[in-house]
Amino acid sequence: MRVEQFGLAVTLLMGVAAVGLSSCGQKQESAAAPSVDDATAFVAKAETDLANMSEYAGRAAWVMSNFITDDTEWLQARAGAEANAMASTYAKEAARFDGVDVDPVTRRKLNILKRAIVLPTPAREGAAQEMATISSGLDSAYSTGKFEYKGMPIALDTAEEILRSSRDPAEIKAVWEGWHSVAPPMKANYARLVTLANEGARELGFKDTGEIWRSWYDMEPQEFAAKTDALWEQVKPFYDNLHCYVRGKLNEKYGDAVQPATGPIRADLTGNMWAQQWDNIYDIVAPAGAKSSYDLTRLLTANGFDAQKMMKAGESFYSSLGLAPLPETFWQRSLLTRPRDREVVCHPSAWDIDNKDDIRIKMCTRVNAEDFDTIHHELGHNYYQRAYAPQDFIFRDGANDGFHEAIGDFAGLSAQTPTYLNQIGLLKTIPGTDEDIPILLKTALVKIAFLPFGLLIDKWRWDVFSGVTPPEKYNEAWWDLRLRYQGMVPPAARPADAFDPGAKYHIPGNTPYTRYFLAFIYEFQFHRAACREAGWQGPLNRCSVYGNKAVGEKLNAMLQKGQSRPWRETLAEFTGENDIDASAILDYFAPLNTWLTEQNRGRTCGW
């Protein structure tokens, strides 16, 4: 099983491992160097064990995420401990074959095995269980977190709804602070988990856990860190432009006392709990006098869409590209709305339970534009999982984790165009070119606003893992990064015990995050290439590849490869480009960037 994005203890990057059996009968104790046959036998056994373990741990995790109780937490922790211990054991043992002259496929598998784990466990007795118990506890603390508001306990989804729609700065601040009050009890456990994972990482020969995370990209870890910095430098001027424009509009709306005209933006005013995407405040930042003839949320509501119908629409987008429909079990086993009678993990996720075709989605869908996009995102994971299922177990994953996140977003780029909404009958008339700037602005509030956030989460974690940021500096370092990269500040000084990173799913969930930063770059490369393939002539923001079988075929070829080949090669086959490159996202938004520069004339940008 591979669950995209979640982060329970069972999450391993490239699949889940099998138990710590003693290295498939090799003679570790003898002095004889392992042979090529030993290496291939080791890999074969690892793949069988890992595949079995992955299904077992996956089912336990599924049950826990769908029904959070003391008991399911316990069961999930037990299975997660076994899975992580097995992955760590195989990672260690894979290194024994470093000097063996094996064939390239086996070599690639061994290289993957050596680093295929998010939170490595130390070998000593009890460590894996302690880590898994903490992981499950953090996950459930986040997912069941509530705070009191107006005398009522409220959960994250209600809090998000208030941030989305309220324009009262006092109310927004109270709800933002309320949700962040859920996190302080997580801090000590989180710090303990970091210590243990680092101990495990050192046993595998890495400096710390962050170095493992940076080692997943067919290049040296330090080269990868430099690559992400270079990509950020490419897009930063555009982000600064958007920040400047939005800050000006917030200042006009709320006045100097709430949002000053200069300096950083007050994070809670962005319509999003983490200020990671700002499309919920489009009404505040919309260009003066610009007409915007449709609103996707309203179209969905007016056309009687519910979670099921939204998911069906998502499926039909992929079907139009020639991909086979979802299996019947997808509809029977997925969880598409928040149940009333029990606690669940609401953060959206896509699951691959049996490494064949038991694919599922779990999300508490709401009928709005954001979740319409999320549905395409999650389905992208499922179609990827199903396409690479025939690969050997170790290769059943994305070309890298950024690819896994980018596939559904790539579909979403077509599926949110007025061109497509018109094709499927939701939108009666296609808006004219005078709406291009409003449409691009709406999209930039999702895609450009996200970039610094996508980068900084793991910058924070890399420093936490390396010890540069000790627990007493967790919150300070968090806000230093949020200020430096995003230009954001909290609504008021934070309490001494605050643990604000814990209020974002992927921190207690231990889901690596640079993958999303990469995805937001890749998806525009995929989109540009697919639109070229489709012979699209107009602007990229109008291009929909809906119904294009040639694009579907190329996409499927990429998906089927899984991670059997280095990601640059897979990228080149789909796009003709052999490196990750921010020019596609910049191309897509070029007219908006020119327009923003114009709008910002006379303003002092930056913070």
Q: Which residues bind ligand X8Z (CB under 6 A)?
A: 4-5, 276, 348, 374, 377, 516
Give, as ranges, the residues between 390 and 409 that touch Zn ion (CB under 5 A): 405
Q: How far is the CB of 450 from Zn ion (least distance, A)?
A: 13
Nearer to ligand X8Z by Cβ, of 4 and 463: the residue is: 4
- What does the alpha-carbon distance between residue 455 and residue 227 come to, in Å, rounded to a whole number? 11
Nearer to ligand X8Z by Cβ, of 246 and 519: the residue is: 519
DSSP code string of 292-309: ----HHHHHHHTT--HHH
Q: Which residue type sits at 94?
A: A
Give the residue among 579, 163, 181, 562 at the shortest CA–CA distance from 396.
Answer: 562
Residue 34 interacts with, from ligand X8Z, Zn ion, none (CB under 5-8 Å by kind): none
E-state strands within 385-534 = 488-489
Burial status of residue 55 (CB atoms within 10 A of its CB: 0-12, 13-18, 19 or more): middle
**Which positions ≥6 away from 591 have C-beta within 8 Å?**
436, 437, 440, 539
Nearer to Zn ion by Cβ, of 86 and 457: the residue is: 457
Alpha-carbon 299 to chain mean position: 27
Residue 374 interacts with, from ligand X8Z, Zn ion, none (CB under 5-8 Å by kind): ligand X8Z
Residue 200 interacts with, from Zn ion, ligand X8Z, none (CB under 5-8 Å by kind): none
382 interacts with Zn ion by CB under 5 A? no
Q: How far is the CB of 276 from ligand X8Z (least distance, A)?
A: 6
Dihedral angle computed from the Cα positions of residues 170, 171, 174 and 180, in that order, rounded to the nearest 10 degrees: -120
4 interacts with Zn ion by CB under 5 A? yes
Q: How far is the CB of 401 from ligand X8Z (least distance, A)?
A: 10
Residue 348 interacts with, from ligand X8Z, Zn ion, none (CB under 5-8 Å by kind): ligand X8Z
Q: Give the containing element (helix H, strand E) for 386.
A: helix 369-388
Q: How far is the CB of 7 from Zn ion (least distance, A)?
A: 11
In sign, the C-alpha dihedral spanning 39, 44, 45, 46 is: positive
Number of residues that bind Zn ion (CB under 5 A): 3
Give the number of other CB atoms < 10 A from CB of residue 504. 21
Q: How far is the CB of 513 from ligand X8Z (least distance, A)?
A: 7
Long-range contacts for 69-74 (Cβ within 8 Å, ≥24 apart)? 69/343, 73/136, 73/137, 73/140, 74/136
Give, as ranges, the residues between 33 and 72 that touch Zn ion (CB under 5 A): none
Q: How far is the CB of 464 from ligand X8Z (least distance, A)?
A: 18
Nearer to ligand X8Z by Cβ, of 11 and 417: the residue is: 11
Cβ 545 vs Cβ 534: under 8 Å:
yes
- What does the alpha-carbon distance between residue 69 and residue 530 come to, in Å, rounded to a whole number? 45
DSSP code string of 479-496: HHHIIIII-EE-SSPPPT
Beta-bridge mates of residue 155: 146
Stretch that binds Zn ion, among 5-13, 182-190, 305-313, 434-442 (CB under 5 A): 5-13
Nearer to ligand X8Z by Cβ, of 5 and 510: the residue is: 5
Residue 20 interacts with, from ligand X8Z, Zn ion, none (CB under 5-8 Å by kind): none
Nearer to ligand X8Z by Cβ, of 100 and 326: the residue is: 326
In the numeric block, the tokens 């061994």 are attached to 110
Q: How far is the CB of 11 from ligand X8Z (least distance, A)?
A: 12
Q: How far is the CB of 517 from ligand X8Z (least distance, A)?
A: 9
- What does the alpha-carbon distance between residue 99 and residue 101 come to, in Å, rounded to a whole number? 6
Nearer to Zn ion by Cβ, of 26 and 511: the residue is: 511
Give, as ranges, the residues between 93 and 112 that touch Zn ion (CB under 5 A): none
In the numeric block, the tokens 């006392």 are attached to 257
Q: How far is the CB of 504 from ligand X8Z (least distance, A)?
A: 7
Q: How far is the CB of 518 from ligand X8Z (least distance, A)?
A: 11
- What does the alpha-carbon distance between residue 422 and residue 431 come to, in Å, rounded to a whole number? 10
Nearer to Zn ion by Cβ, of 34 and 508: the residue is: 508
In the numeric block, the tokens 């962005």 are attached to 270
Nearer to ligand X8Z by Cβ, of 90 and 278: the residue is: 278
Residue 423 interacts with, from ligand X8Z, Zn ion, none (CB under 5-8 Å by kind): none
Burial status of residue 579 (CB atoms within 10 A of its CB: 0-12, 13-18, 19 or more): exposed
Cβ 335 vs Cβ 411: under 8 Å:
no
Which residue is nearest to Zn ion, using beta carbons? 5
Residue 208 interacts with, from Zn ion, ligand X8Z, none (CB under 5-8 Å by kind): none
Give the residue among 275, 300, 292 at the shortest CA–CA distance from 367.
Answer: 300
Residue 249 interacts with, from ligand X8Z, Zn ion, none (CB under 5-8 Å by kind): none
| Residue 279 φ/ψ region, left for φ over 0, alpha for ψ in the -120 to 50 degree band, beta for the rest | alpha
277 interacts with Zn ion by CB under 5 A? no
Nearer to Zn ion by Cβ, of 133 and 563: the residue is: 563
Q: How far is the CB of 407 from ligand X8Z (least distance, A)?
A: 11
Q: How far is the CB of 509 from Zn ion (least distance, A)?
A: 12
Alpha-carbon 298 to chain mean position: 27
5 interacts with Zn ion by CB under 5 A? yes
Residue 516 interacts with, from Zn ion, ligand X8Z, none (CB under 5-8 Å by kind): ligand X8Z
Which residue is nearest to ligand X8Z, using beta carbons? 5
Q: Give contact residues for Zn ion (rule: CB under 5 A).
A: 4-5, 405
